[in-house]
């Protein structure tokens, strides 16, 4: 593959984002009942071996195209539960990533996900000192009974304490993850949780509706009638409560599930929504470059083994043709409330979106699901609520 810079559009001028490095830490304290992500129980040996394997992987990747010629603007430690790793190991992994690749000078966004009760103030202080400048805390709820029912291994108080501690440790960019539509949750309960979260004054909030993933313990419990989820009307009411609460706050919804104060949109995720390049490291991590995607197998043992036989680490490779890459960029980009700039899209792909989608686009605009303002195409308020239907027409 030739130099990335020669072919990649100027993302900096589009959204102040650029290529990102993602480190997947596959360990969790226990399995949440709704979770279908790949994760495994942490053991001292497993953590030590994982740490050694990531360092070896970095040594290989640093010499590989296209990564060796990109300048990364964000680094994200996600999982799993990255904060299960001892802080000195996290600090070392970050330092080695910075040494291995070109990272934008002093403006890089460096995030880490932490779960409540997995790290104390001293640990958070050390993470801040190591260079992490953005924290994403997985609250999910602030109701102990709900937390228990979805198998979260922490209490509401643990979540609040972790937030306060993170502030004391010097984090000035904190995101909180919440979920709504939890078992037996009422709109009033959601309103209370959202209100408590807003009172903390985080910089960013992600809010996801609970979806039942087949094969998870929660899905089975719902099938057996042991647990019930709020009905569609109740969930719509929760969405309306969110819209109303956010409209009276300094937050702005900038993506279907993400809200930020001015200047605090997550640049790492913006790069995904711009369909930019990213390097994923760790079992199950995905990398992408110019319509080509590589996934690493969701298998810790294989990831560890791959340090001995480097090629066996790769899982699937997916190569999108030019049109598929274009369509994917449209669909992912429309997740952003700012929408997409059709002129920039045309410059990037040499495809005129209006001609390409023709009647489909005209129809979606006529139905008031999409709106076109100058060169800008975005979902309407109605379209945001029916985003999946709109995307299905354009993908």
Distance of CA 353 to the CA centre of its chain: 27
Taking the complex as a whole, how short is the minimal distance between the CB of residue 142 and ligand SF4, in angstroms? 17
> Which lies closer to ligand SF4 via its Cβ, residue 81 or residue 185?
81
Within 10 angstroms of residue 3's Cβ, the number of other Cβ atoms is: 12
> Which lies closer to ligand SF4 via its Cβ, residue 181 or residue 276?
181
> Which lies closer to ligand SF4 via its Cβ, residue 115 or residue 275?
115
Please state, in angstroms and rounded to a whole number, the distance separating the CA atoms of residues 164 and 137: 11
DSSP state of 213: P
Which two structure tokens, joined as six digits, stand for 275? 């369909």
Taking the complex as a whole, how short is the minimal distance between the CB of residue 377 and ligand SF4, in angstroms? 34
Taking the complex as a whole, how short is the minimal distance between the CB of residue 300 and ligand SF4, in angstroms? 13
In the block, tokens 């495994």 appear at: 40
Taking the complex as a whole, how short is the minimal distance between the CB of residue 224 and ligand SF4, in angstroms? 21
**281 closest CA partner among 43, 138, 135, 101:** 101
**180 closest CA partner among 192, 162, 167:** 192
> Which lies closer to ligand SF4 via its Cβ, residue 66 or residue 80?
80
> Which lies closer to ligand SF4 via its Cβ, residue 161 or residue 237?
161
Q: What angle do CA 268, 273, 274 make, to 5 degrees?
A: 95
Please state, in angstroms and rounded to a whole number, the distance separating the CA atoms of residues 338 and 309: 45
Taking the complex as a whole, how short is the minimal distance between the CB of residue 158 and ligand SF4, in angstroms? 13
Question: Using CB under 6 A as the criterion, which residues of the chain lie in contact with ligand SF4 when the complex forms?
Answer: 28, 31-32, 35, 37, 39, 79-81, 115
Please state, in angstroms and rounded to a whole number, the distance separating the CA atoms of residues 348 and 10: 9
Please state, in angstroms and rounded to a whole number, the distance separating the CA atoms of residues 298 and 91: 24
DSSP state of 212: P
Q: Is the dihedral of CA 152, 148, 192, 163 positive or negative?
A: negative
Which two structure tokens, joined as six digits, stand for 367? 């139905």
Please state, in angstroms and rounded to a whole number, the distance separating the CA atoms of residues 271 and 287: 12
> Which lies closer to ligand SF4 via its Cβ, residue 179 or residue 342?
179
> Which lies closer to ligand SF4 via its Cβ, residue 20 or residue 116?
116
Taking the complex as a whole, how short is the minimal distance between the CB of residue 39 and ligand SF4, in angstroms? 5
Taking the complex as a whole, how short is the minimal distance between the CB of residue 127 and ligand SF4, in angstroms? 18
Tell me whether strands 340-341 and 376-379 are parallel, antiparallel or unpaired.
antiparallel
Which two structure tokens, joined as six digits, stand for 232? 């569609």
Per-residue exposure over 245-256, b if at least 16 CB sit within 10 Å of its own CB, e if not = bbeeeebbbbbb
Taking the complex as a whole, how short is the minimal distance between the CB of residue 276 and ligand SF4, in angstroms? 24
> Which lies closer to ligand SF4 via its Cβ, residue 82 or residue 276?
82
> Which lies closer to ligand SF4 via its Cβ, residue 8 or residue 37?
37
């Amino acid at each position: 593959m030739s130099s990335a810079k020669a072919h990649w559009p100027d993302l900096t001028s589009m959204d102040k984002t650029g290529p990102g490095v993602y480190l997947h830490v596959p360990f969790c304290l226990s399995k949440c009942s709704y979770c279908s992500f790949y994760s495994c129980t942490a053991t001292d040996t497993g953590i030590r071996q994982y740490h050694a394997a990531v360092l070896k992987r970095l040594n290989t990747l640093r010499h590989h195209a296209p990564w060796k010629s990109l300048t990364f603007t964000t680094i994200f430690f996600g999982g799993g539960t990255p904060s299960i790793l001892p802080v000195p190991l996290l600090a070392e992994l970050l330092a080695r990533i910075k040494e291995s690749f070109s990272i934008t000078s002093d403006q890089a966004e460096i995030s880490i996900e932490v779960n409540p009760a997995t790290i104390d103030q001293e640990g958070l202080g050390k993470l801040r000192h190591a260079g992490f400048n953005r924290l994403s805390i997985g609250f999910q709820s602030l109701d102990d009974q709900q937390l228990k029912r979805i198998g979260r291994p922490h209490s509401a108080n643990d979540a609040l304490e972790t937030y306060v501690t993170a502030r004391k440790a010097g984090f000035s960019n904190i995101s909180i993850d919440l979920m709504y539509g939890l078992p037996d949750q009422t709109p009033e309960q959601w309103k209370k949780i959202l209100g408590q979260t807003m009172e903390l004054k985080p910089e960013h909030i992600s809010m996801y509706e609970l979806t039942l993933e087949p094969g998870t313990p929660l899905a089975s419990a719902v099938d057996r009638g042991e647990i019930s989820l709020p009905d569609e009307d109740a969930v719509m009411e929760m969405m309306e409560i969110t819209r109303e609460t956010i409209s009276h706050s300094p937050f702005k919804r900038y993506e279907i599930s993400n809200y930020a104060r001015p200047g605090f949109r997550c640049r790492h995720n913006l790069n995904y929504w711009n369909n930019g390049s990213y390097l994923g490291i760790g079992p199950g991590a995905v990398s992408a470059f110019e319509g080509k995607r590589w996934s690493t197998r969701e298998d810790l043992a294989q990831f560890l083994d791959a340090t001995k036989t480097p090629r066996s680490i790769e899982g699937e490779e997916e190569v999108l043709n030019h049109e598929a890459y274009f369509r994917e960029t449209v669909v992912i980009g429309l997740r952003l409330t700012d929408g997409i700039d059709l002129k920039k899209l045309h410059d990037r792909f040499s495809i005129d979106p209006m001609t390409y989608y023709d009647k489909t686009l005209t129809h979606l605009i006529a139905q008031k699901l999409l709106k076109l303002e100058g060169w800008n195409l975005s979902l309407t308020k109605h379209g945001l609520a029916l985003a999946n239907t709109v995307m299905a027409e354009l993908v």
